[in-house]
């Protein structure tokens, strides 16, 4: 049987395999991977998790293992509404939905909103997982410009003026892949533009809790609550393997996301949600955060220092105050997709920046570096080695 003939029209267009192929070598023995997008297992509160599991078993018993509502496990929705309230995002528990990671949110959002050919405005570069979630719905991507302070409001306004945009997608704080954050002044401008054009903005916020320096900035959701879909996750502040995503969307969209989720996976794993509920409601998230920050802060500093010390002068890099990533831009004409293989030969891996652009021709001279997975001394020597490779290109 020729199964290729059976594939849907959308399938051939997905093509997520290039990056998968590239990253296959990352697990090779001796490799120092700056390519990861994952939290350190040392950030997981393993002892707390053990206690929480005991609590869940005695408090919820078999109901932690039964089918549950597509909307999410009620105690987790309550805990998240309360927790987000502490950050100025005021929601009732009914306005909070739990999905299977923020990936699950991005998928169901597209299923509800995006017809083939609809336009989604994204930052250039943008989160690769969002591109992977959106692509199967065959949208047309409109790229918006960024600078060191993140999304440029004028570029957003230009985009909304010239295009019929289904939604604007942004990671405003410690963006993946750049680490850039949008300043409070710009957030206000962005909120005004969104309101002016009566547009919908999806604010993806997985990293704002991971701040090593500087002051917190409020979410755009607090500035235009009716026009913003706020997305967050416990993957970076509890454990990604539980697959907990959280979304607060306008009511019509939220209702359809529940219908869609019934078809996709019925609901997110109940046991995962029960553990997460006890973690957030019990105040353990607030206790664990400083520990996670202390774990990452020296790694963050080590990478910035090493980049300063070793990288060629014609390379620039972002200086984020938090998150998991630093973005490097080399001189124009450099090809860091080809360069990747030379770095891998020297046992250092990164993600070529090209994969974070929706336009095929962009980003060849850029790369994303992760600093959460290795200790400071390992990071320093990896950056020194990588700088050596770059000088030969």
Q: Which residues in the 31-90 window bind its own copies by CB under 8 A?
A: 38, 41-42, 44, 46, 49-50, 53, 57, 61-68
Among 51, 118, 192, 384, binds its own copies (CB under 8 A): 118
Between CA 118 and CA 264 the distance in angstroms is 22
Nearest in space to 285 (alpha carbons), one of 230, 238, 218: 238
The span of 74-82, 250-258, 315-323, 338-346 binding its own copies (CB under 8 A) equals 250-258
Report if residue 104 touches its own copies, rule: CB under 8 A: yes
Nearest in space to 165 (alpha carbons), one of 204, 108, 122, 105: 122
> What would the two tokens of residue 150 be?
């993140």
Report if residue 92 touches its own copies, rule: CB under 8 A: no
Among 95, 208, 270, 374, binds its own copies (CB under 8 A): 270
- Secondary structure (H, E, C), 205-250: CCCCCCECCCCCCCCHHHCCHHHEEEEEECCCCCCHHHCEEEEECC
The span of 103-111, 178-186, 322-330, 376-384 binding its own copies (CB under 8 A) equals 103-111
The span of 90-98, 147-155, 246-254, 360-368 binding its own copies (CB under 8 A) equals 246-254
The span of 75-83, 213-221, 233-241, 298-306 binding its own copies (CB under 8 A) equals 233-241
By CB under 8 A, the residues from 185 to 224 that bind its own copies are 198, 200
The span of 168-176, 215-223, 269-277, 383-391 binding its own copies (CB under 8 A) equals 269-277
Supply the minimum distance, in Å, between the C-beta of residue 4 and its own copies: 6
Report if residue 18 touches its own copies, rule: CB under 8 A: no
Report DSSP letters for 14-77, one per residue: T--HHHHHHHGGGGSTT-EES------GGGS-HHHHHHHHHHHHHHHGGGGGS---TT--HHHH
Question: In the complex with its own copies, which residue's Cβ is closer, 18 or 184?
Answer: 18
Report if residue 284 touches its own copies, rule: CB under 8 A: no
Between CA 231 and CA 66 the distance in angstroms is 26
Supply the minimum distance, in Å, between the C-beta of residue 186 and its own copies: 22
Between CA 354 and CA 255 the distance in angstroms is 36
Q: Judge whether 248 and 219 are in contact, CB under 8 Å.
A: no
Question: In the complex with its own copies, which residue's Cβ is closer, 39 or 150?
Answer: 39
By CB under 8 A, the residues from 296 to 335 that bind its own copies are none
Question: In the complex with its own copies, which residue's Cβ is closer, 66 or 335?
Answer: 66
Supply the minimum distance, in Å, between the C-beta of residue 390 and its own copies: 28
Strands across the sheet containing 201-204: 97-100, 244-248, 228-233, 201-204, 165-170, 119-123, 140-144
Q: Judge whether 72 and 98 are in contact, CB under 8 Å.
A: yes
Supply the minimum distance, in Å, between the C-beta of residue 292 and its own copies: 13
| Size of interface with its own copies, in residues (CB under 8 A) | 80
Q: Judge whether 372 and 56 are in contact, CB under 8 Å.
A: no
Report if residue 111 touches its own copies, rule: CB under 8 A: yes
Report if residue 267 touches its own copies, rule: CB under 8 A: yes
Question: In the complex with its own copies, which residue's Cβ is closer, 311 or 355?
Answer: 355
Length of the chain: 393
Q: Judge whether 215 and 183 are in contact, CB under 8 Å.
A: no
> What would the two tokens of residue 244 be?
């907990």
């Amino acid at each position: 049987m020729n199964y290729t003939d059976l594939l849907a029209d959308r399938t051939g267009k997905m093509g997520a395999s290039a990056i998968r192929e590239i990253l296959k070598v990352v697990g090779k023995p001796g490799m120092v991977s700056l390519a990861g997008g994952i939290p350190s297992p040392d950030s997981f509160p393993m002892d707390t998790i053990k206690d929480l599991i005991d609590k869940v078993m005695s408090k919820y018993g078999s109901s932690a293992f039964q089918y549950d509502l597509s909307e999410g496990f009620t105690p987790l929705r309550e805990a998240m509404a309360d927790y987000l309230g502490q950050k100025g995002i005021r929601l009732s528990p009914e306005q909070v939905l739990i999905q299977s990671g923020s990936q699950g949110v991005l998928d169901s959002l597209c299923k509800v909103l995006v017809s083939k050919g609809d336009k989604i405005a994204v930052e250039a570069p943008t989160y690769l997982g969002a591109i992977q979630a959106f692509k199967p719905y065959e949208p047309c991507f409109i790229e918006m410009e960024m600078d060191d302070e993140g999304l440029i409001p004028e570029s957003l306004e230009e985009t909304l003026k010239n295009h019929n945009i289904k939604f604007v997608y942004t990671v405003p704080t410690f963006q993946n892949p750049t680490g850039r954050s949008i300043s409070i002044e710009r957030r206000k401008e962005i909120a005004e533009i969104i309101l002016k054009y009566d547009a919908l903005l999806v604010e993806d916020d997985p990293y704002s809790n991971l701040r090593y320096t500087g002051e917190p900035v409020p979410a755009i959701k607090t500035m235009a609550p009716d026009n913003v879909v706020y997305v967050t996750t416990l993957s970076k502040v509890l454990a990604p393997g539980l697959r907990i995503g959280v979304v607060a969307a306008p009511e019509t969209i939220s209702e359809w996301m529940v219908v869609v989720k019934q078809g996709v996976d019925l609901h997110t794993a109940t046991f995962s949600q029960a553990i997460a509920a006890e973690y957030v409601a019990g105040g353990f998230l607030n206790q664990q955060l400083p520990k996670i920050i202390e774990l990452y802060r020296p790694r963050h500093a080590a990478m910035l220092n090493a980049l300063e010390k070793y990288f060629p002068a014609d390379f620039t890099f972002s200086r984020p105050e938090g998150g998991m990533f630093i973005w490097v831009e080399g001189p124009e004409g450099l090809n860091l997709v080809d360069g990747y293989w030379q770095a891998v030969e020297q046992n250092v891996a990164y993600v070529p920046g090209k994969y974070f652009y929706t336009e095929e021709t962009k980003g060849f001279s850029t790369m994303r570096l992760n600093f959460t997975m290795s200790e400071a001394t390992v990071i320093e020597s990896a950056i020194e080695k990588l700088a050596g490779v770059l000088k030969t290109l």
